[in-house]
Structure 1
Amino acid sequence: MQERQWITARRSELDALAEQLTKQLQEVEVERDELAIAERVLNRLAEQAHADAEAADSVAPVPVKVAGRAVLLIPHRTAATRPTRARCPSASRKILAIVREADGPVQVRAVGERLGLDASVRGKLEPLRAKMTKLADRGWLHKRPDGRFTARS
Protein backbone atom coordinates (compact mmCIF):
# COMPACT_ATOMS: atom_id res chain seq x y z
CA MET A 1 0.00 0.00 0.00
CA GLN A 2 2.83 2.45 0.81
CA GLU A 3 4.41 1.73 -2.53
CA ARG A 4 1.25 2.71 -4.31
CA GLN A 5 1.06 6.00 -2.39
CA TRP A 6 4.68 6.70 -3.16
CA ILE A 7 4.11 6.01 -6.89
CA THR A 8 1.03 8.24 -6.92
CA ALA A 9 2.85 11.04 -5.07
CA ARG A 10 5.89 10.76 -7.34
CA ARG A 11 3.73 10.78 -10.47
CA SER A 12 1.99 13.91 -9.17
CA GLU A 13 5.38 15.59 -8.55
CA LEU A 14 6.58 14.66 -12.06
CA ASP A 15 3.33 15.90 -13.64
CA ALA A 16 3.76 19.24 -11.85
CA LEU A 17 7.41 19.43 -12.94
CA ALA A 18 6.47 18.60 -16.56
CA GLU A 19 3.84 21.34 -16.51
CA GLN A 20 6.35 23.84 -15.12
CA LEU A 21 8.99 22.89 -17.71
CA THR A 22 6.46 23.15 -20.55
CA LYS A 23 5.54 26.65 -19.40
CA GLN A 24 9.24 27.65 -19.19
CA LEU A 25 9.87 26.21 -22.66
CA GLN A 26 6.99 28.28 -24.08
CA GLU A 27 8.42 31.43 -22.44
CA VAL A 28 11.88 30.69 -23.87
CA GLU A 29 10.44 30.15 -27.36
CA VAL A 30 8.50 33.43 -27.18
CA GLU A 31 11.63 35.31 -26.09
CA ARG A 32 13.71 33.70 -28.86
CA ASP A 33 11.10 34.78 -31.42
CA GLU A 34 11.17 38.34 -30.04
CA LEU A 35 14.97 38.40 -30.22
CA ALA A 36 14.88 37.22 -33.84
CA ILE A 37 12.47 40.04 -34.70
CA ALA A 38 14.63 42.59 -32.85
CA GLU A 39 17.70 41.37 -34.73
CA ARG A 40 15.94 41.78 -38.09
CA VAL A 41 14.83 45.30 -37.14
CA LEU A 42 18.35 46.28 -36.06
CA ASN A 43 19.79 44.91 -39.31
CA ARG A 44 17.30 46.94 -41.32
CA LEU A 45 18.05 50.07 -39.30
CA ALA A 46 21.79 49.57 -39.77
CA GLU A 47 21.32 49.12 -43.53
CA GLN A 48 19.17 52.26 -43.68
CA ALA A 49 21.66 54.27 -41.62
CA HIS A 50 24.47 53.13 -43.91
CA ALA A 51 22.45 54.10 -47.00
CA ASP A 52 21.55 57.46 -45.42
CA ALA A 53 25.20 58.15 -44.57
CA GLU A 54 26.26 57.41 -48.14
CA ALA A 55 23.51 59.66 -49.48
CA ALA A 56 24.41 62.46 -47.06
CA ASP A 57 28.06 62.33 -48.12
CA SER A 58 27.15 62.62 -51.78
CA VAL A 59 24.57 65.41 -51.46
CA ALA A 60 25.32 69.06 -50.85
CA PRO A 61 22.98 71.07 -48.62
CA VAL A 62 19.86 72.21 -50.39
CA PRO A 63 18.59 75.79 -50.11
CA VAL A 64 15.12 75.83 -48.58
CA LYS A 65 12.61 78.68 -48.25
CA VAL A 66 11.71 79.51 -44.66
CA ALA A 67 9.46 82.49 -44.04
CA GLY A 68 10.21 83.69 -47.58
CA ARG A 69 14.00 83.57 -47.12
CA ALA A 70 16.38 81.05 -48.66
CA VAL A 71 18.36 79.17 -46.01
CA LEU A 72 20.80 76.26 -46.23
CA LEU A 73 20.25 73.15 -44.21
CA ILE A 74 23.21 72.19 -42.05
CA PRO A 75 24.23 68.58 -42.72
CA HIS A 76 24.97 66.07 -39.99
CA ARG A 77 28.66 65.67 -39.31
CA THR A 78 30.35 62.35 -39.97
CA ALA A 79 33.95 61.33 -39.34
CA ALA A 80 34.93 62.12 -42.94
CA THR A 81 33.20 65.50 -43.28
CA ARG A 82 34.72 68.91 -42.91
CA PRO A 83 32.87 72.26 -42.91
CA THR A 84 33.61 72.98 -46.58
CA ARG A 85 31.86 75.60 -48.68
CA ALA A 86 29.67 72.87 -50.22
CA ARG A 87 28.62 71.48 -46.84
CA CYS A 88 28.07 74.40 -44.46
CA PRO A 89 26.76 77.94 -44.88
CA SER A 90 29.39 80.64 -44.42
CA ALA A 91 27.90 81.84 -41.10
CA SER A 92 28.22 78.33 -39.71
CA ARG A 93 31.81 78.05 -40.94
CA LYS A 94 32.64 81.35 -39.19
CA ILE A 95 31.09 80.11 -35.94
CA LEU A 96 33.02 76.85 -36.17
CA ALA A 97 36.28 78.72 -36.81
CA ILE A 98 35.75 80.98 -33.79
CA VAL A 99 34.98 78.03 -31.49
CA ARG A 100 38.01 76.10 -32.78
CA GLU A 101 40.33 79.08 -32.21
CA ALA A 102 39.21 79.47 -28.61
CA ASP A 103 41.43 78.11 -25.83
CA GLY A 104 38.52 76.33 -24.17
CA PRO A 105 34.73 76.27 -24.01
CA VAL A 106 33.13 79.49 -25.28
CA GLN A 107 29.93 81.27 -24.41
CA VAL A 108 27.51 82.42 -27.09
CA ARG A 109 28.21 86.01 -26.00
CA ALA A 110 31.95 85.66 -26.84
CA VAL A 111 31.18 84.24 -30.28
CA GLY A 112 28.65 87.01 -30.88
CA GLU A 113 31.23 89.66 -29.98
CA ARG A 114 33.73 88.10 -32.40
CA LEU A 115 31.06 88.17 -35.12
CA GLY A 116 30.37 91.86 -34.42
CA LEU A 117 26.94 91.40 -32.84
CA ASP A 118 25.69 93.72 -30.11
CA ALA A 119 26.20 91.36 -27.17
CA SER A 120 24.60 93.77 -24.69
CA VAL A 121 21.16 93.00 -26.18
CA ARG A 122 20.11 89.45 -25.34
CA GLY A 123 17.70 89.27 -28.28
CA LYS A 124 20.59 89.74 -30.70
CA LEU A 125 22.31 86.62 -29.34
CA GLU A 126 19.32 84.25 -29.46
CA PRO A 127 19.53 83.57 -33.23
CA LEU A 128 23.25 82.85 -32.76
CA ARG A 129 22.47 80.53 -29.83
CA ALA A 130 19.97 78.70 -32.07
CA LYS A 131 22.58 78.30 -34.83
CA MET A 132 25.18 77.02 -32.38
CA THR A 133 22.67 74.58 -30.86
CA LYS A 134 21.77 73.35 -34.34
CA LEU A 135 25.49 72.83 -35.06
CA ALA A 136 25.74 70.87 -31.82
CA ASP A 137 22.66 68.80 -32.70
CA ARG A 138 24.23 67.96 -36.07
CA GLY A 139 27.54 66.94 -34.44
CA TRP A 140 29.71 69.90 -35.49
CA LEU A 141 29.96 71.37 -31.98
CA HIS A 142 29.60 69.98 -28.46
CA LYS A 143 27.20 71.80 -26.13
CA ARG A 144 28.27 71.43 -22.53
CA PRO A 145 25.75 71.25 -19.66
CA ASP A 146 26.77 74.77 -18.58
CA GLY A 147 25.67 76.14 -22.00
CA ARG A 148 29.14 76.73 -23.37
CA PHE A 149 30.34 75.18 -26.63
CA THR A 150 33.50 73.35 -27.71
CA ALA A 151 34.66 72.11 -31.10
CA ARG A 152 34.38 68.44 -31.98
CA SER A 153 37.70 66.80 -32.79
Structure 2
Amino acid sequence: MSEQLADERASAAPVPGQVGGRAVTLIPHRAPDVEESTLPSDYQRILAAVRQAAGPVMARQVGEVVGVDVSVRAKLEPLRGKLVRLVDRGWLRKLPDGRFTTRL
Protein backbone atom coordinates (compact mmCIF):
# COMPACT_ATOMS: atom_id res chain seq x y z
CA MET A 1 0.00 0.00 0.00
CA SER A 2 2.77 2.46 0.90
CA GLU A 3 4.53 1.72 -2.40
CA GLN A 4 1.37 2.54 -4.30
CA LEU A 5 0.97 5.82 -2.41
CA ALA A 6 4.62 6.71 -3.08
CA ASP A 7 4.14 6.01 -6.78
CA GLU A 8 1.02 8.19 -6.88
CA ARG A 9 2.83 11.05 -5.14
CA ALA A 10 5.75 10.75 -7.53
CA SER A 11 3.40 10.94 -10.51
CA ALA A 12 1.84 14.14 -9.10
CA ALA A 13 5.22 15.84 -8.70
CA PRO A 14 6.11 18.62 -11.15
CA VAL A 15 7.55 17.10 -14.27
CA PRO A 16 10.05 18.97 -16.41
CA GLY A 17 8.75 19.43 -19.92
CA GLN A 18 9.79 21.08 -23.15
CA VAL A 19 8.11 24.17 -24.58
CA GLY A 20 9.65 25.83 -27.59
CA GLY A 21 12.88 23.92 -26.98
CA ARG A 22 13.19 25.25 -23.41
CA ALA A 23 12.92 23.16 -20.26
CA VAL A 24 9.96 24.19 -18.12
CA THR A 25 8.48 22.92 -14.85
CA LEU A 26 4.87 21.89 -15.11
CA ILE A 27 2.67 23.05 -12.23
CA PRO A 28 0.02 20.49 -11.25
CA HIS A 29 -3.64 21.45 -11.02
CA ARG A 30 -5.01 21.60 -7.52
CA ALA A 31 -6.94 18.49 -6.60
CA PRO A 32 -7.85 16.78 -3.33
CA ASP A 33 -5.07 14.23 -3.75
CA VAL A 34 -2.39 16.75 -4.83
CA GLU A 35 -0.46 18.29 -1.96
CA GLU A 36 1.17 21.72 -1.92
CA SER A 37 4.52 19.99 -1.41
CA THR A 38 4.38 18.83 -5.05
CA LEU A 39 4.86 22.43 -6.17
CA PRO A 40 8.37 23.79 -6.82
CA SER A 41 9.83 25.62 -3.81
CA ASP A 42 9.44 29.12 -5.28
CA TYR A 43 5.71 28.49 -5.82
CA GLN A 44 5.42 27.17 -2.25
CA ARG A 45 7.01 30.42 -0.97
CA ILE A 46 4.54 32.46 -3.04
CA LEU A 47 1.58 30.55 -1.60
CA ALA A 48 2.94 31.02 1.92
CA ALA A 49 3.31 34.78 1.34
CA VAL A 50 -0.29 35.07 0.14
CA ARG A 51 -1.52 33.05 3.15
CA GLN A 52 0.43 35.20 5.63
CA ALA A 53 -1.16 38.41 4.35
CA ALA A 54 -4.03 39.89 6.29
CA GLY A 55 -6.17 39.92 3.14
CA PRO A 56 -5.92 39.98 -0.65
CA VAL A 57 -2.50 41.13 -1.89
CA MET A 58 -0.98 42.69 -4.99
CA ALA A 59 1.99 41.10 -6.75
CA ARG A 60 4.23 43.85 -5.37
CA GLN A 61 3.38 42.89 -1.78
CA VAL A 62 4.12 39.23 -2.49
CA GLY A 63 7.43 40.27 -4.08
CA GLU A 64 8.45 42.16 -0.97
CA VAL A 65 7.87 39.04 1.15
CA VAL A 66 9.64 36.57 -1.15
CA GLY A 67 12.60 38.88 -1.80
CA VAL A 68 11.99 40.13 -5.34
CA ASP A 69 13.29 43.62 -6.22
CA VAL A 70 9.86 45.24 -6.66
CA SER A 71 11.34 48.56 -7.81
CA VAL A 72 12.28 46.92 -11.13
CA ARG A 73 9.24 46.06 -13.25
CA ALA A 74 11.20 43.43 -15.21
CA LYS A 75 11.71 41.48 -11.98
CA LEU A 76 8.11 41.87 -10.83
CA GLU A 77 6.46 40.63 -14.03
CA PRO A 78 7.79 37.04 -13.78
CA LEU A 79 6.38 36.91 -10.23
CA ARG A 80 3.03 38.15 -11.52
CA GLY A 81 3.17 35.38 -14.14
CA LYS A 82 3.72 32.78 -11.42
CA LEU A 83 0.79 34.15 -9.45
CA VAL A 84 -1.44 33.93 -12.53
CA ARG A 85 -0.19 30.39 -13.20
CA LEU A 86 -1.21 29.45 -9.65
CA VAL A 87 -4.63 31.00 -10.32
CA ASP A 88 -4.98 29.02 -13.56
CA ARG A 89 -4.14 25.78 -11.75
CA GLY A 90 -6.59 26.44 -8.90
CA TRP A 91 -4.11 27.17 -6.09
CA LEU A 92 -5.00 30.89 -5.78
CA ARG A 93 -7.87 33.18 -6.70
CA LYS A 94 -7.54 36.51 -8.51
CA LEU A 95 -10.01 39.23 -7.63
CA PRO A 96 -11.37 41.64 -10.26
CA ASP A 97 -9.16 44.45 -8.90
CA GLY A 98 -6.00 42.40 -9.61
CA ARG A 99 -5.30 41.28 -6.05
CA PHE A 100 -4.60 37.64 -5.18
CA THR A 101 -5.98 35.56 -2.36
CA THR A 102 -6.09 31.92 -1.29
CA ARG A 103 -8.90 29.67 -2.45
CA LEU A 104 -11.46 28.59 0.09
Give the TM-score of the pair, scaled to structure 1: 0.57
1:59 Cα shift?
3.3
Structure 1 distance, partners of 2:9, 2:16, is 15
Larger RCO, structure (CA 8 Å, separation 6 or more): 2
Deviation above 6 Å: which 4+ runs of structure 1? none
Aligned to 1:125: 76
Of 91, 94, 97 in structure 2, the residue corresponding to residue 140 of structure 1 is: 91
Structure 2 distance, partners of 1:114, 1:67, is 32
Aligned to 2:12: 59
> Identity percentage over the alignment?
58
Structure 2 distance, partners of 1:118, 1:91, is 15
Q: Does residue 96 of the first structure (1) align with residue 39 of the second (2)?
A: no
Structure showing greater Rg: 1
Aligned to 1:116: 67
More helix by share: 1
More strand by share: 2
1:125 Cα shift?
0.5
Aligned length, in residue pairs: 97
Gaps of 5+ in 1: 1-54
Gaps of 5+ in 2: 1-7
